[in-house]
Structure 1
Amino acid sequence: MSHSHEQEIEDEFAGVGDTIASATRVTPGHALRPEDIALQDAPPAEDNAEYALWLGDDSLILAQRLSWWISRAPEMEEDVALGNIALDLLGHARSFLTYASKQWGKTEDELAYWREEEEFRNLRLTEQPNGGFGETIARQLYFAVYQELLYTRLVQSTDSTIAAISAKALKEVAYHVDHATQWCLRLGMGTDESARRLQHALNLMWPYVGELFQDEPLNERIAAAGIGPLPSSLREEWDQRVSAVIEESELQVPQAKAAMAHSRAGDHSEHLGYLLAEMQVLARKHPGASW
């Protein structure tokens, strides 16, 4: 991420920590830790908790996907880069799930490890297999731009905890966008083979894009309360930004039809079950264990 872009983010959201400190103990430039959220007395309202669960599940499942690349990436530097992105997303997930869990008297670990497949609310894009490196980069480009646009709006949320988590996460997501963008340019303008593979990857992930901007009944209530934006309101800017990256990479914006999905209601692809089996096996094999 360029210094100028980072400074723009710092300037725009410099006062966010001050406005919510009384509710969360967050201070400017510091993370809102799950431990801090757990100390809050009042649980979130039902809709706020469900929305936080959606946001947490998106980050948790994508973090699990990206962690697979550690020791498998095409360059040693990418082992570190993708691992760090996964850790960023896991941090976002922990904060959102900790906040959501207070509504139901649970912990972040219980939500992560003891729900069944149909109880997860992540978008289908986040659970798609890594495939080749190009597929991972295409998925990252699509989701990171969406997440940056979303968090930019969420820092103005009437829910102070969601605003605080988003303000911290936004600085990290800006790097995720830059990382995916630079790889798209590198692969798209590289060899004929790298361009062909990335174009295939962009086409392959495109059908899952439509769900990012699908307005569910909860989204409408959340928007009416000033907690978060309607997903559909992010689509125009997302199209502009993603299309600009693809075209600069000398590739074609995909035209594939959107896949029908209701992941927010627990309707997932066949891939999520396998991912959860791997993610949850240790906790379920040794319930109650700590180390």
Structure 2
Amino acid sequence: MTTMPTAAAAHLSYVLRLADNALILGQRNGEWCGQGPALEEDIALANISLDLIGQARLLYSHAAALEEAAGGARKTEDSYAYFRGEREFANYTLAELPHAGPLAGTARAARDYAVTITRNFLYAALMCHLWSALRASADAQLAAIAAKSLKEARYHLQHAGEWLVRFGDGTAESHRRAQAAVDYLMPYTAEFFSADAVETAVATAGIGPLNADLQAAWQQDVAATLAEATLAAPAPVRHVTTGKHGEHSEHMGFLLAEMQSLARQHPGATW
């Protein structure tokens, strides 16, 4: 990537960010397979995970084409998913967090479904606006991926939003857990809207929007659901996490070790 023109490098980096977010959140949601709180939810989370991983595959394939066209090495979706190191992933920190509260040490910590639902809600609320905007991208392939992904994101938002309302406006215990999840995860969403050189370059080229331009609509959607759920948003924070710059939480290494181990043990294997 370092030898590519700046515009091409930014374009590729942007597509990889989208792909990494989908893959890592898909991997997290997939951890509920066989572990869901109810059979219907077990299936729902598996399907949401498959949607996200499907989005990642389309985006990684597109990234491979962009990289090769710009003079880079020939790659596949597996190259990006399984054979990059932790600092090469550019997903939001929010996506990699375990399904538990702030004191969870590893992925083995007890899962809290309220954390999973809240995270999916906050992310899907963003992606509904982002995929919608990307349908007008100057990158025709990215626009096509966005049109398909928007339909899935709308379902993800509906699923998570309905459950967040049930939790928040349910029992005292479900309300407590939902509020704790909102308090825990909302600060991580500041990373959604922190612009940098990559996002500025693709916005200038008409490839993607500035996320900051989507923030007001996202906040309105989140506030409406939180109000219906009788939940309160925490006060804004100044700290902005840096997952999209390759600086991850301590949880990312555990996630990648599990996700990549088989492919790294048997490189080039097919089945």
TM-score strictly above 0.5:
yes
Q: Give 1:150's aligned residue.
A: 130
1:48 Cα deviation from its structure 2 partner: 2.0
**Alignment counterpart, residue 124 of structure 1, candidates 77, 93, 110:** 93
Deviates more, 1:120-129 or 1:249-258: 249-258
1:16-95 mapped onto 2 (5 Å cutoff): 45-95=8-58
> 1:156 touches 1:163 (CA, 8 Å); kept in 2?
yes
Partner residue, 2:142: 162
Give the drift of 1:262: 2.2
Take 2:179 and 2:244, find their aligned partners in 1: how far apart are those partners?
28
Question: Contact conserved, 1:120 with 1:266, CA < 8 A, in 2?
Answer: yes
Q: Deviations over 1:129-173 (max 9, x none)?
A: 112000011101110000111000000000001000000000011
Distance change in 2, residues 1:133/1:258 (3 Å): farther
Q: How does 1:169-208 map to 2 (within 5 A)?
A: 169-208=149-188
Query: Are residues 1:231 and 2:194 paired?
Result: no
Q: How far apart, CA to CA, are the structure 2 residues paired with 1:259 and 1:207?
A: 8
- The Cα offsets for residues 59-88 of structure 1, whole Å up to 9 and x where unpaired, read as 000000000011111110001101000000
Give the aligned partner of residue 198 of structure 2. 218
Whole-Å separation in 2 of the counterparts to 1:113 and 1:134: 29
How far is the alpha carbon of 1:176 from its aligned partner? 0.3
- The aligned counterpart of 2:242 is 262
Query: 1:256 deviation in Å?
Result: 4.9
The 1-side partners of 2:90 and 2:142 are apart by: 17
Write out the 4+ residue segments of structure 1 that deviate beyond 6 Å after TM superposition.
Answer: none
Do the aligned partners of 1:188 and 1:195 also contact (CA within 8 Å) in 2?
yes
Distance 2:253 2:194 in 1: 23
Assess, with a 3 A threshold, how the Cα gap between structure 1 residues 141 and 258 changes in structure 2: closer, same or farther.
farther
Q: Report the number of matched residues.
A: 248
Q: Distance in 2 between matches of 1:252 and 1:69?
A: 27
Unaligned runs of at least 5 residues, structure 2: 1-6, 101-111
Residue 279 of structure 1 pairs with residue 231 of structure 2: no
Which residue in 1 is equivalent to 2:228? 248
Please give the alpha-carbon distance, in whole angstroms, between the structure 1 residues aligned to 2:199 and 2:189. Answer: 17
Task: Quote the RMSD (CA, aligned, Å).
Answer: 1.2
For 1:228 and 1:219, the matched residues in 2 are separated by 8
- 2:249 aligned counterpart, secondary structure: coil
Shift of 1:258: 4.7
Q: Is the 8 A contact 1:148 1:170 kept in 2?
A: yes
Percent identity, aligned pairs only?
Answer: 44
